Structure 1
Amino acid sequence: MSKAAALKNNDFDPAFDIALMTEAARSAAAGLKADFAALDTLVIDEKGPGDFVSRADRKAEETVVGILSTARPDWGFLGEEGTDRRGNDARFRWIIDPLDGTNNFVHGLPHWCVTIALERHGEIIAGVTYSPLLDEMFHAYKGGGVFLNGQPLKRMARHDLKNAMIDVDPGHARRDAAQFAQFSKVVAAAEKHCAAVRIEGAGALDLCYLAAGRFDVMFHAGGAKPWDIAAGFLYVREQGIIVTTPEGKPAGIDNGLFLAAAPAMHKAFSALIEWPAVS
């Protein structure tokens, strides 16, 4: 299908829509980089323990929504900063996190990103995630593979758990003593049997790193939202990585508690932490 036909019929066009998402992510990132350079003047509110939101987040979401809606006025939106509207064409919905890793951002840490996913009939079919300070642009569309700065993403593969780099996120476990105790057991097991454990604090970007093989396993203890993981779940699955729930089922973007790894590593780490086998 040509781009003209796709736009006329309001259909997904990989080249056009990935370029559109890339433009939106870069435009939002330009403002965020300026705000990051002037953190001492940024107005920051605290939504809850360790949960910050700034004017930078809101401005970035407005930028993304403006660019996407101009080109695709009939498609819906779900955004972290409150954008939630059904489009005239109910098939499609943009899912946006204009600044994932806000806590890192407001503390001057560079591990944050802009991430955008496209959903069709409830399935994620495309994604773009941009890490501005490293100038790394990840993108994918379903069945088309994953790309980093326009080149196919080659995944570094480690097969032995003792050499594995584990990414963990306590998520909602921080708010519940029993859940946090269980999370702590997972971390302790990983520290004992794996090469290293990291808490990076930006799930969308962490999933990119998992897709690239910079991490070997990702364990999120609950609370990840659709905008945090929608694009990243597409990337890792395009790379052959499996993502499961505590019941051993494939995780969807509404499953904020998940374990993700390549099959052999997933099996080994699942056994280590007594996570259910894939069913």
Structure 2
Amino acid sequence: MLKAGTDVELAVSAAQAGAAVVRRMYGEPLARFEKSAGDFATAADLAAEKAILDLLRTARPDDAVLGEESGRTGTDGAERMWLVDPLCGTLNYAVRNMLVAVNVALRVGSQITAAASADPFNDEVFWTDGERACVRRDGADAELTPSPDSHLVDVNLDPPFPNAPRFRAVRLLADAEFAERFRPRVVSTTLAVAWVAAGRRAAYVTDGHLRDSVHFAGGIALCQAAGCVVTGIDGRPLHTGAGGLVVAADPETHAALLKMIGNQVSSDR
């Protein structure tokens, strides 16, 4: 078990607090708050974020916080900043689909040193302290073990697409090599990133600029601690080059996906 009072235990507790709100409000008529075309928050997003932030601010009053709904608060240039996504999969949740996550991560300097991703409806919390990667069920922690055996690859099809037209994740689904080797999934929540660390997915692919992403920081840290192969879509280190994310359970799966992504780039020349 984790020591009480540590950053990672706080991340787990905060994610659980948000998950409890998400469970409680599930199925209720929820007010929607428009953010941009096709994107909105619900009353559950706001309530879950408040529960998380109340806990973080009480325990770590000097830390900065970046919340999906409330933005950044705290001292500018703070060495420690919490990244909070209170309901990843709002569109799913709004139509009573239970595929959602609650993500809490702590960045200290340039490193994610603690992170938790809660599945509100399976009562699981995936967590890492930067070295171990575990899942907590019924109060017990078990180590995560990545595996490519499922051949399931989640592909994020949501915008923005900063590398279009040279790369579009949707084109992977039409690639003959992809169809021969993998089976696609489109979960539309970063819970799927944690599933790669847990051996429930072979890989995950998305475009986008992900530095300090409240959506992805925790899942990326989980996969790195679990021993997954984690790079940008061009195979370079994260947050360099073209950006994006390819996280795979093993080097062979990662290399295969990079080859297919490379085929897209070559075909556009």
Interval of TM-score (by shorter of Structure 1 and Structure 2): 0.7 to 0.9
Cα distance change of structure 1 residues 194 and 48 upon mapping to structure 2, 3 Å threshold = farther
The residue aligned with 2:17 is 27
Q: 244-253 or 75-84, which moves further after superposition?
A: 244-253
Q: Is it true that 1:122 corresponds to 2:149 in the alignment? A: no
Please give the alpha-carbon distance, in whole angstroms, between the structure 2 residues aligned to 1:62 and 1:105: 18
Aligned-pair distance for 1:73?
0.5
Cα distance change of structure 1 residues 173 and 67 upon mapping to structure 2, 3 Å threshold = closer
Does structure 2 retain, via aligned residues, the 8 Å contact 1:226–1:254? no
**1:121-200 map, 5 Å:** 121-149=109-137, 150-158=140-148, 164-172=151-159, 178=165, 182-189=168-175, 191-200=178-187
Aligned-pair distance for 1:119?
0.8
Aligned-pair distance for 1:193?
1.9
Which residue identity is paired with 1:17? D
The residue aligned with 2:61 is 73
Deviations 1:40-82 (A, max 9, x none): x211134344422112111211111111110111011011002
Aligned-pair distance for 1:27?
2.0
Does structure 2 retain, via aligned residues, the 8 Å contact 1:24–1:64? yes
Does structure 1 retain, via aligned residues, the 8 Å contact 2:169–2:205? no
Q: How many residues align?
A: 258
The residue aligned with 1:8 is none
The residue aligned with 1:219 is 205
Report which of the two has the higher share of helix.
1
Please give the alpha-carbon distance, in whole angstroms, between the structure 2 residues aligned to 1:57 and 1:256: 27
Q: What is the SS of the residue equivalent to 2:174?
A: helix
The residue aligned with 2:51 is 63
Please give the alpha-carbon distance, in whole angstroms, between the structure 2 residues aligned to 1:107 and 1:256: 31
Cα distance change of structure 1 residues 147 and 254 upon mapping to structure 2, 3 Å threshold = farther
Deviations 1:187-241 (A, max 9, x none): 11265223410110002x1111011111111111336571011111111011111
Aligned-pair distance for 1:268?
1.8
Report the RMSD for the aligned CA atoms in angstroms: 2.9
Cα distance change of structure 1 residues 156 and 91 upon mapping to structure 2, 3 Å threshold = closer
Please give the alpha-carbon distance, in whole angstroms, between the structure 2 residues aligned to 1:234 and 1:268: 22
Cα distance change of structure 1 residues 239 and 164 upon mapping to structure 2, 3 Å threshold = same
Which residue identity is paired with 2:215? D
**1:194-213 map, 5 Å:** 194-203=181-190, 205-213=191-199
- TM-score scaled by structure 1? 0.82
Aligned-pair distance for 1:14?
7.8
Q: What is the SS of the residue equivalent to 1:119?
A: strand
Cα distance change of structure 1 residues 259 and 126 upon mapping to structure 2, 3 Å threshold = same
The residue aligned with 1:106 is 94
Selected match of 1:17 from 7, 13, 16: 7
Selected match of 2:230 from 236, 240, 243: 243
Question: Unaligned regions of 5+ residues in structure 2, if any?
Answer: none
Does structure 2 retain, via aligned residues, the 8 Å contact 1:77–1:87? no
Which residue identity is paired with 2:136? L
Which residue identity is paired with 1:146? C
The residue aligned with 1:231 is 218
Cα distance change of structure 1 residues 269 and 138 upon mapping to structure 2, 3 Å threshold = same
Please give the alpha-carbon distance, in whole angstroms, between the structure 2 residues aligned to 1:184 and 1:89: 37
Aligned-pair distance for 1:92?
0.9
Cα distance change of structure 1 residues 127 and 202 upon mapping to structure 2, 3 Å threshold = same
Does structure 2 retain, via aligned residues, the 8 Å contact 1:74–1:89? no
Cα distance change of structure 1 residues 194 and 238 upon mapping to structure 2, 3 Å threshold = same
Deviations 1:151-207 (A, max 9, x none): 233425236xxx611100123257997368x3332111265223410110002x111
Which residue identity is paired with 1:28? G
Which residue identity is paired with 1:102? T
Please give the alpha-carbon distance, in whole angstroms, between the structure 2 residues aligned to 1:97 and 1:272: 31
Bigger relative CO (Cα 8 Å, ≥ 6 apart)? 2
Which residue identity is paired with 1:76? A
